[in-house]
Chain A
Amino acid sequence: MNTTELKELTAIESGAGSGKNKVTTNTAELKAALQGIVGAQFVSDDAFTLMAYSRDYSAMPPQTPHFVVLPGNAQEVSQILSLANSTGTSIVVRGGGTTAALATSNGGIILDLNRMDKILKIDEDTMYLTAEGGCSIYSITKEIDKRGFLLAGRPMFGPVPTIGAWVNTVGIGGNCGRYGYFSENVTGIEVVLANGDIVRTGVNGLTNCDPFCRYTHTSDLTGLFVGSRGSLGVVTEVSTRIFPKPEVVNFITLGFTDWDPLIKSAYRIFREDIPATIDINDDGLGEIIDMKLPLPLLLSITVEGSPAEVERKIAAVRKIGADIGGVDMGADIGALIYYGGALTAYIYKKQGFGHMVYADAYWHTLDAFPQLYKSFKDICAKHGLSNNCIFGWLMKGISCIFPIVAYKEPEQWDAMRKAWKEICDEWFAVKNVGPGMSVPSPTAYNLDPLRPTHRQLLTTLKQTLDPNNIMNPKVIPSAGRSL
């Protein structure tokens, strides 16, 4: 590829007509420069390697970058970003690759952080840890489990996600009923900006402090990068609070025929401060594993604490169910969801239902649930997508909902594409429903519904931190890839 072609490429990726790209080199020079930074063995433009990075855990069509680069530390990331910035080359950061529709790139560089996978510090007294951005959640979880601690949350896609990617996507997962989003417990990050600056946030932004606390006498700069999906910088290090493991974990599921008593039960369970996790599922979950459920709507509660606390909480949930109309369905379903989590959905595929996608993630107040659910089921039925279910995590009275659809490629791809868009469009219009982070769809890249001043501030921040829009350019301000 010559310089002109590279200019065209970066112009497309950065927003056509922006005219802000400074392309001073061709791809051969760029490759040599990248090799000079990380070593030749950690830069690839092999056609087959680009193809290996062409997909992520989504139904999006494949797209290939120009290079895949594996930096080994923040200094290398800094040099890469400086180089990319000067040439207007886009950067998409990849961790575990489970964040759907985010981890691929059409041209430019994929920065795979998996070499940066070390746990740097575990402070059992102050109860926080620091790990490199490419460290997998499993590696961290395993190490602190041995010491009697846990992280705030369990990623829905199992242990593969990396801690840096979790900050970039806020981090929703099991135990969110008790601890909130993962990122709420992050005490500081190290982030590399588009110009190559390496910035530390929280008290770690002070020269005399380790990253033990998020807030200091200045603005919460950590929050600027939480949920930024790689659009503002590369998270190379994360510090997060750790929590003592509970003595006992147990489960109870209440079954319902209608949403109204289910929602009322959920409100009361939160008000009585019972859950570590609450999951909502419909009977599509049972159909996945060929399990006939006596009731179609399920509220599964995970409780933890001392044996006496757990017993009291289980009894309290039973009473709430009895008062409002939820049938006690025992512990097994809750355990299955807790330990199997969203992985149950993999079974769709092996049972011949086809490719499974989490069509989207939306935050919403619980009273919106019935409308969202009906819309989802109607759209699926309209397009003949009969293998579907809904899954949601509840958190302090609100929900993060995941509509799940399985479809067969290639014959149901068109139906899926249309249904996906319709779900996104319809849900976006419902009161008190907002796109989430964990599974962003193209709709979630759409900034049009934002209040003008919010959008302006976001765009200003982006332009300040990344004037050439090299950092995951499909997020801000571009509306992203088309379906």
Chain B
Amino acid sequence: MANENLEKVRDEVYGCSVCGQCVKGPVDPFRPNAVFHDYMPDRACPMRENSRFLTYSASGLNSIARALLEGQLQITEELAAAVSECVLCEACGTNCGEVFNLIETMIQKELGHGVDTPAVVRALRADFVNSGKGPTGHVEKVATAIDKSHNRFGRSQNDRNSWIPEGMNIPSKGELLFFVGCTASMRSKEIAQSFAKILKKADVEFAVLGEEEWCCGGPQLLNAGLVKQFEVEARHNVDAIRAAGAKEVVTTCADCYRTLKIDYPKVVGELGFSVVHSSELLARLIEQKKIHLTKEIEETVTFQDPCQLGRVAKVYEEPRSVIGNIPGVKLVEMEGNKQYTVCCGRYPVEMPEQSLETGKARIQDAKATGATTLITACSFCKWNLSKAANTLGSNIKVREITEVVAEAMGV
């Protein structure tokens, strides 16, 4: 059936009133107001900001989905390519649900939730795959690389441990397992290196899977509608993690975090281990006084909430707590933070042009705060925002939270 997956989210599709709140944030009638005191960013949807057509918005996608369900539209490669522009930052869902957020806060009663357009997008893409119309372009290339090599760069899995600093021994089995992720393993190695050094300095024993760590599969496979391929990666990783004896898995990448914590259980059921983000573990270790931040860093910094860590997994305070414990650092907030964060662009390879434009706009937000350093907690955020800052010729430094903590620890 052409719309097999879409049928499962029919209620979401028909739940859309085409009111447009998803494209012109925020949805509270006016902020600041009696409940919420911050200004909200005008930009909500990266693809809408890039293309300007309503087509490329939650509202437009729901109209398209409805037309498919009602037989007024057929699946084509062009349609599949259009839907692939969504980065699944989930800002639309937050905006839509914000109507209820405001009123619920005022009357102290739960009323409902916004339209889950990301679920509609995933369903559409899965149906496109089933129809042989997706994925396309760079998305297909990355997915193919993962399918063949189990990492997004298409490199040999022998390179999985190439990030490990010389002389550092990390076992392959242990109760705490560092799921490094493709990007920190093979591209932005400084993130993995910083985190490993922190753990070593804090006398925290941890393991890595090495070649047995496969791509998490979330952003590249599941989000592209390649459900079966995703399940292969998911089952392998969960089996490997269990075989390593891990009770807790920590990730530095917000996408890996979301995928392991939220998406894997939908495939394999009970994981048998917990999943934490590095910022959560760092906050815990600081509280346990296992991490000592001794070096002063005289910087005004701002924090980019990764969409998947913040808006989706609702981890807001731990990274701020970690940053707040660094001597000398002054944290200032960007317009659009925590659940209202604005996407970094997310897909520097899969959709380079849109991601770059989105990232550039976010760099401008960071600059507007007066910060000299933009800290984030995700490999993709760092990748994309660094690229955007370089393109702009901006002097703002883009750093991952583990790098800043490592510096403050003197490691």
Contact = CB atoms under 8 A, between A and B. Distances in A.
A112 B53 contact: yes
A113 B129 CA distance: 34
B111 A350 contact: yes
A340 B103 contact: yes
Nearest to B78: A46
Contacts of A55: 18, 63, 66
A289 B53 contact: no
Contact of A136 (B15, B24, B54, B114): B24
A346 B67 contact: no
Interface residues of B, number: 54
Interface string B296-315: 00000000000000000000
Interface string B78-102: 1100100000000000000001101
A138 B24 contact: yes
Contacts of B30: 138, 141, 145, 154, 159, 339
B52 A52 contact: no
A151 to B, nearest CB: 10
B31 interface: yes
B111 A159 contact: no
B103 A344 contact: yes
A59 to B, nearest CB: 10
Interface in B1-59: 14-15, 17-21, 23-35, 39-40, 42, 51-55, 57, 59
B82 A409 contact: no
B272 to A, nearest CB: 35
A114 interface: yes
B19 A346 contact: yes
A357 to B, nearest CB: 9
B158 interface: no
B73 interface: yes
Nearest to A42: B52
Contacts of B20: 57, 96-98, 160
A335 interface: yes
Given A138-B24, A339-B102, A291 B107 contact: yes
B107 A158 contact: no
Interface residues of A, number: 57
B42 A136 contact: yes
A158 B27 contact: yes
B18 A56 contact: yes
B109 interface: yes
A62 B67 contact: yes
A339 B106 contact: yes
Contacts of A351: 111-112
A268 interface: no
Contact of A343 (B14, B23, B29, B40): B29
Given A54-B67, A355-B17, A343 B109 contact: no
B282 interface: no
A199 to B, nearest CB: 26
B235 interface: no
Contacts of B27: 158-159, 343
B99 A159 contact: no
19 contacts: A44-B53, A48-B73, A49-B55, A51-B64, A55-B18, A55-B63, A57-B19, A57-B20, A62-B67, A138-B30, A142-B40, A157-B19, A159-B26, A160-B21, A339-B34, A343-B103, A346-B19, A346-B99, A350-B100
Given A52-B55, A57-B19, A159-B24, 10 more contacts: A44-B55, A138-B25, A138-B42, A158-B27, A160-B19, A335-B106, A339-B30, A347-B100, A350-B100, A351-B111
Interface of A: 41-42, 44, 46-49, 51-57, 62, 68, 70, 94, 96-98, 112, 114-115, 136, 138-139, 141-142, 145-146, 154-155, 157-160, 174, 289-291, 332, 335-336, 339-341, 343-344, 346-347, 349-351, 355-356, 409
